[in-house]
Amino acid sequence: MSGPAAVMSLVLAETVAGAIGFLFLTPLWNEVRRGFFVLVGVIVAALALGTAAAANAGYDRSAGGGRGPVWLAAALAGATLVWLALLAARQPLPARIVGILTVPLAIAMLGAFARVADQSAGLAFFQLVAGAAFTGAVIDGLLLGHWYLTDRRLSRGPINRMTLLLAGAVVLDAAAVIAGGFGGANQTQAASNSLNPLLSISGSASLIAIGMVACTGLIAVFIRLTLRGTRPAAVQSATGFFYLAVITAFVAELAAKIKFLP
């Protein structure tokens, strides 16, 4: 894979995997209503389809790696639609089982993307997993903040936990960006393949990524401080900060993945 579409597919794949992981591997199932899972599931399915489309558009036969990422992203979208259908049919236990099974499928998808990277598969997989935790915490936190407008009785536990997970993901993603190095890529190739020619300047992509990760970490601190307030408006303010975190996290991952592919 190569080109802007391939870069976009990487960021979308991370977001999908992270959102699914935090949705089913945290206690949310026993804390929020069924509607929240429907909300996140619909968004995840759409993003997974977008991942498959972007990966297919960025497919480069000469770059190798095959179409594995495309098929796995499509399979993940299909599996998500299955557990959404089960939820709609009032079958929560089967829906939860299928949902949990989508987590290893998402990990397999990240593994397939790691094999097309222009670096060792192990390092690439670590960067993708870190990015998934980073973007997944941001997306789920944003949607959870909105859900408090629907469920006024929901305790602060879920959003407090998601804020702490975001803080931890910031540290993990910063380590992943640093592990990827700061060297510059070939100027002509980078300018043609990146989403912005400015990112082709030696080391600038990694520096921008680090800066945006740091900004997201600062936003996580603001969210935590905001949630110390006891008024319901505190959650609304925290949700506003999550909007900013979506922007900084998305930019960080785009910049970090510019040098990811050949």
Look at residues 246, 254, 252, 250 and name the one whose alpha carbon lies nearest to residue 223.
Answer: 246
pLDDT of residue 67: 79
User: pLDDT-based confidence at 174, cuts 50/70/90?
Assistant: very high
User: pLDDT-based confidence at 196, cuts 50/70/90?
Assistant: low
Mean pLDDT of the residues in the chain? 86
pLDDT in tens, 89-106: 999 999 999 999 999 999
User: pLDDT-based confidence at 57, cuts 50/70/90?
Assistant: confident
Look at residues 118, 130, 142 and name the one whose alpha carbon lies nearest to residue 209.
Answer: 130
Q: Evaluate if residue 201 carries a pLDDT over 60.
A: no
pTM listed for this prediction:
0.87
Q: What is the mean pLDDT of residues 194-203?
A: 51
pLDDT of residue 64: 56
pLDDT of residue 135: 95
